Amino acid sequence: MPALGVALLFLLSGMFVMASVEDSYGEYFDVHPEEADKIVVKTGGTIRYESVFYDNDLGDAEVNFTAYLLKPNGDKHSGGVSPSTWKTSSSENVKTITVTAPSDAGTYRLVVEYETDDEDSPKTGMSQTKVKVVVPITLKAEVVNDSDAKGSITVAFWVDGELIGDSEQVVKDIAPNGKKTVTYEWVTDSLGGGKHTYQLVTEDGEITEEGEFYIGHNEYRWASIVMGLMFVILIIVFVYVMSKPVKNYGKPKGRR
């Protein structure tokens, strides 16, 4: 009898687990980047997201979706999402959404809402995800061909001693004893403020050019700003002093 009770308990537990799992998949709604490793976009660039909806209890209801961007301050951003509305009568729906990044950098949110057309008891839901918009960092360097024949070379940028993987490119048809400028727009939010160094390195490990750039400001720039303000203030004081009328502190004319 105890063995029968234990077996019955396991059976009921299994039924409960099965019911819980089935119920947990009754409705699913999520918005996420199409490529998990690409969550940052440059100003004015585009990035794709997927809106995944599943509801096995939907029945014959029709579902209306609305997508939009929220600014960092919480206000709605006008446009920038395509499509912004769509509908489906299927219990499964995966929609690809293209977001065109605003011209101002910041952390935005892509919001997708849905509502069924059931007048008596409509179902609603909402999912959102981050859209990180950054100003791209433009890296620029020159490649020199020291030979007497036209040539091509593979190069890549390194920043602060780390290879920027997507920056690798082939510079083709460099004229004999000539040079070409290599440019790369780096879309990243991984760098802190201050000074950073970069190198353009060939496939053979030769450094063709080195340089530096700043995120935010540097101490020299602030010093220049302060000196400029002081110079402007001195000019204003000088002009004010020179334009004041000279008072005659001598005796009145009638008493001279």
Q: What is the pLDDT of residue 247?
A: 53
C-alpha–C-alpha distance, residues 117 and 63, integer Å? 6
What is the pTM assigned to this prediction? 0.69
Q: What is the pLDDT of residue 192?
A: 87
Which residues have C-beta within 8 Å of that of residue 124, sequence separation ≥ 6? 113, 114, 115, 116
Residue 182 Cα distances to 152, 158, 211, angstroms? 12, 13, 13
Domain residue extents for the chain: 25-134, 137-215
Report residue 244's pLDDT band, with 50, 70 and 90 as the boundaries: low
**pLDDT of residue 10 exceeding 60:** no
Q: What is the mean pLDDT of residues 7-35?
A: 59
Q: Which residue has the higher pLDDT, 99 or 251?
A: 99
**Does the fold of domain 137-215 match that of domain 25-134?**
yes
Fold of 137-215: Immunoglobulin-like (2.60.40)
Tell me what percent of the residues of the chain surpass a pLDDT of 70.
78
**pLDDT of residue 229 exceeding 90:** no
What's domain 25-134's superfamily in CATH? Immunoglobulins (2.60.40.10)
Q: What is the pLDDT of residue 8?
A: 41
